[in-house]
A = this chain, B = another copy of it.
């Protein structure tokens, strides 16, 4: 039969990155395209021990249906966790457990936007968020991301010109894809503008714990005096992404609506994982674990940067991230970036073309994204050398 799909899904393309990942899983390819944590980053011994213990001691709660809000001890532990690590004060009732931060981004559009409403986001921005937002037939308004965060003049203009804006979407730390961090001054300005225009902010912070240079900056949520910030935190980068576990911190009326969305979407998040991660947070030394990850990623980032310094011509520019997993390379004017990515693929090096992260994918881009967490050290050196030859 001829299938007829909804407008919201018909216009969406499969995520370019997830499609690239499929081809990049060919063992002959050096993939600098992924966003996976390093396999060395997983706290294997602790997860093994706690999982066995939960299955031995308390298997029934791990296997039975539970409430949509999430495992109560985990909500409590997270409330303490974000208070200590991000100076966010919240009650457990202001925390919802989700199946990956992607789900919280999806719920933000689902619960806050009618069709035709607008969302303002950084340009470039995280493709998973952009696609989730698009799938609710909203208008995406991109604001250029500068070295220290969104261009404030353009943001003001975007807010004025789009009275149906429901929220501003920000990844303040080591942004995906650009690797840039929003300055304290800009965080304050973005919050003030959201207030003046009475819009919400969705703050996505999957990489915050992975700062390996510079000083930590306060989250937008920690400045949130009037309950307009929805904060998305994730265990994908500090525990393990395959477990699909994350959380959102928001005012109780927002959590109540997100909970209704959660009932519709998948009832509740995997209970075995919720219990294991709650115990991990309680029993393990998170500071020591995170500090180990920072060293791991700093070394990989520095290795990639020094290889780039050695192999790339000076006309090519790139970000020097203070944390996270990504850096962003911009080719000289007149260069055909897509052609470059294709030639790299032909030499079996995968990178992600920058236009994939634009609000309008057809908008030209001279940039591409590199990931330093997934490849091995020798793959980083070899991959960058090949890219350097092609440049």
Contacts and interface: CB of A to CB of B under 8 A. Distances in A.
Contacts of A51: 51-52, 55, 272
A242 interface: yes
| Number of this chain's copies in the complex | 2
A226 B100 contact: no
Interface string A31-47: 00011110100101001
A263 B111 contact: no
A209 interface: no
B265 A106 contact: yes
Range class of the A interface residue count: 35 or more
A51 B13 CA distance: 36
Contact of A65 (B226, B242, B253, B266): B242
Given A6-B112, A48-B55, A243 B263 contact: no
A63 B9 contact: no
B55 A240 contact: no
Interface string A95-114: 00011101100100011111
B65 A42 contact: no
Contacts of A13: 260
Given A228-B1, A244-B270, A266-B99, A59 B36 contact: no
- Indicate the member of A62, A67, A99 with the most B CB atoms within 10 Å: A99
Interface of A: 1, 3-10, 12-15, 18, 21-22, 34-37, 39, 42, 44, 47-48, 51-52, 55-56, 59-68, 98-100, 102-103, 106, 110-115, 117, 128, 131-132, 135, 166, 198, 226-228, 236, 240-244, 251, 253-254, 256-257, 259-261, 263-273
Q: Lowest 5 A-B CB distances belong to which pairs?
A: A242-B271, A63-B240, A132-B264, A63-B242, A99-B266
